[in-house]
Amino acid sequence: MSSLGQRIREQRLTKGLTQIDLASGLCTPSMISQIESDRAKPSHKILVAIASRLSVPIEQLLSDVNLDLEYKSQLRMAIGLVRAKEFRTAIPLLQELIDSAYPRMKSSEIHLELATCHVELGDAEAAITLLKGVYEWANRKQDHETLTIALHLLGTAYQKKEEPALALFHAKRAYEELEKVKEPDPILHSKVLTLLGSIHEEMGKVAEAATFYEEALGLGRGKIEERGLSYLKLAETYQKAQCLEKAEEYAGRAALIFEEVTNVQQEQDVQHRLVKLTSKRENWKKSVDDLLQIAAQYETTSNKEKAGAVYADIAMISSAHGELEEAWAYAERARISLPNLHPAMGTVHRVLANVYQERSDDEKAEKHLRNAIKIFVQHGRVAEFEEVNNQLCKQMISKEKYKEAFEQITTFQQFMKQKLVQKGIVL
C-alpha cells in the first residue's frame, strides 16, 4: 500500500514528466517535491489539478492509498503548529481532518487541538461548542484525562468571556477529574492549578490564588521562562495581599531566572514589573533609575506605549515620595506617548491630581481624579478605582461637598455590586 505522494510520483514518471513539468502553472516544483516525499499534503484544488495534468481520475490517485499515513502526517503537522502558537495556520488543517471523518482518527484529540486554537485566538464560543461535544464523549467513556483537558479548556474559555463563576466551576471540575487519573501528567496538573489561581485572583481571593500558584510551582514543571513568570505572578499576588516579605522573596527568585533570559522584549517587560514590586523601598531612587533605563530601551525599539507606561510608573513613584516637580515632568512624558484611554493614563491623571492638590487648585485636581476614575472603570481596575474614589471623596468632604461625596461613594458601591454579579456573587 503506497502513500499519496508515492502514487503521484509513480504516475508522473509513467507519463515521462519532470517535477517542473507537473508543477508548471499549478505550484512550485519544490511543492511537488514535498508532496511526492509526503512532507506536504496537497489541497483538494491542487490535487484535482495534478490529476488532470496526469490525465488520471482523482479516484485512481487515492485508490488503496495509505490514508492512515496521510491523516496522521497532517495531524502531526497541525499539532506542531499549535505548539508553535501558529493557531490560524493550524485551524484549517484540523478542520479538514474533522470534516474527513476518517474512522481511524481519534476525533476527541483533534477537537481539543482545534478548541485550543479558538481559545487562544479569543473565539471562546467556538471553543465551548467543540469542548461540550468532547466532554460528552469523554464522560460516556469515563476517560478522566480527556475530561480534565476539556474542563480546563472550558474554564479558560469562560475566563476569557469574563464569566468567572462558570470558569471556576469548570476549573474545579478539572481538578476533581485529574485526581481520578492514575498517573496524571504534571504539566496538565500545573495548568489546572494555575488556572484556579488566576480565577481566584480575578475574584479578589488573593490568599487562595497564592496557594494554587505555589502548588503549581511545587510541581517543578514547565520551561524556565514560564517558571520565572510564575514566580513573578506569585510575587504580585502576595503584594496585593500585603504579604510584602513573601512578595520580595518570589520577586527575587524571578529576578535570578530572568538574568538568563535571551528574549529582550520579555526581559524588559519582566524587569519593569520587578522594579515596580520593589519601588517602595528606601532606595526608591534606584528604582526610578532602573525604570528610566527600561523606558529608554523601549524608546530605542520605537515601543512608545510601553515607554509611556514606564514613565507613568516613574511619575507615581516620584509623587509618592514628594518629588512633585519630577512627577509632573514624567507624567507629561507619559502623556505624549500614551493614547488617552490607555490604562496607564489613569496613573498619569492620579499624579497630576496630586500635583494640583499641592498647588491648591482643587478644580483641576478634581477634574484629573474623575478622568482617572473613568479610565480605571473602563479597564475594570477595581483597586485603583477605590483608591482614587477615596481620594476624591476626601477632597469633597474637606470642601464640605457632602452630597457630592455621598453620590461618589454610591457610584463606587454600584460599580462593586456590578462586578460581584459578573463574578457570580449576589448579595
- Determine contact, residues 348/327, Cβ cutoff 8 Å: no
Spans of all domains in the chain: 4-62, 286-427
Whole-number pLDDT of residue 252: 73
Compute CA 43 distance to the chain's CA centroid, rounded to the nearest angstrom: 32
Q: What is the 3-state secondary structure (H, E, C) of the chain?
A: CCCHHHHHHHHHHHCCCCHHHHHCCCCCHHHHHHHHCCCCCCCHHHHHHHHHHCCCCHHHHHCCCCHHHHHHHHHHHHHHHHHCCCHHHHHHHHHHHHHHCCCCCCHHHHHHHHHHHHHHCCCHHHHHHHHHHHHHHHHHHCCHHHHHHHHHHHHHHHHHCCCHHHHHHHHHHHHHHHCCCCCCCHHHHHHHHHHHHHHHHHCCCHHHHHHHHHHHHHCCCCCHHHHHHHHHHHHHHHHHCCCHHHHHHHHHHHHHHHCCCCCHHHHHHHHHHHHHHCCCCCCHHHHHHHHHHHHHHHHHCCCHHHHHHHHHHHHHHHHHCCCHHHHHHHHHHHHHHCCCCCHHHHHHHHHHHHHHHHCCCHHHHHHHHHHHHHHHHHCCCHHHHHHHHHHHHHHHHHCCCHHHHHHHHHHHHHHHHHHHHHCCCCC
Confidence grade of residue 371 (pLDDT, cut at 50, 70, 90): very high
Q: Is residue 427's pLDDT more than 50?
A: no
CA–CA gap between residue 160 and residue 174 (Å, rounded) = 17
CA–CA gap between residue 273 and residue 28 (Å, rounded) = 48
The model's pLDDT over 8-45, given as tens digits with 9 standing for 90+, comes to 899 999 999 999 999 998 888 888 998 888 777 777 67
**What is the amino acid identity at position 102?**
Y
Summarize the confidence of residues 373-397 as an average pLDDT. 85
Compute CA 166 distance to the chain's CA centroid, rounded to the nearest angstrom: 19
CA–CA gap between residue 205 and residue 203 (Å, rounded) = 6
**What is the amino acid identity at position 360?**
S
Q: Is residue 263's pLDDT more than 60?
A: no
The model's pLDDT over 93-136, given as tens digits with 9 standing for 90+, comes to 888 888 776 555 578 888 999 999 999 999 999 999 999 999 99
Whole-number pLDDT of residue 178: 93
Confidence grade of residue 426 (pLDDT, cut at 50, 70, 90): very low
Fold for the domain defined by 4-62: 434 Repressor (Amino-terminal Domain) (1.10.260)
Confidence grade of residue 379 (pLDDT, cut at 50, 70, 90): confident
Name which residue leads in pLDDT, 344 or 278.
344
What number does CATH give the domain 286-427?
A: 1.25.40.10
Q: Is residue 403's pLDDT more than 90?
A: no
Lowest mean pLDDT among 58-67, 143-152, 305-314, 357-366: 58-67
Name which residue leads in pLDDT, 81 or 28.
28
The model's pLDDT over 145-167, given as tens digits with 9 standing for 90+, comes to 999 999 999 999 999 988 888 99
Whole-number pLDDT of residue 333: 92
Name which residue leads in pLDDT, 177 or 396.
177
Summarize the confidence of residues 329-351 as an average pLDDT. 92
Fold agreement between 4-62 and 286-427: no
CA–CA gap between residue 86 and residue 76 (Å, rounded) = 14
HSE-up of residue 164 (Cα within 13 Å, Cβ side): 17
Q: Is residue 331's pLDDT more than 90?
A: yes
* Angle at CA of residue 403, ends 400 and 406, nearest 5°: 105
Q: Is residue 421's pLDDT more than 60?
A: no
Whole-number pLDDT of residue 320: 86
- Residue recorded with cell 475594570: 380
Whole-number pLDDT of residue 353: 93
Altogether, the residues listed in the chain come to a count of 427
Query: Which residues are within 8 A (CB) of 241 and not within 5 positions of it... i.e. 6 or more apart?
Result: 206, 207, 210
Picking from 62, 140, 145, 69, the residue whose alpha carbon sits closest to that of residue 105 is 69
The model's pLDDT over 165-204, given as tens digits with 9 standing for 90+, comes to 899 999 999 999 999 998 888 888 988 998 998 898 888 7
Summarize the confidence of residues 62-79 as an average pLDDT. 66
CA–CA gap between residue 220 and residue 50 (Å, rounded) = 51
**What is the amino acid identity at position 36?**
E
Whole-number pLDDT of residue 414: 77
CA–CA gap between residue 383 and residue 352 (Å, rounded) = 19
Report the mean per-residue pLDDT for the chain.
Answer: 82
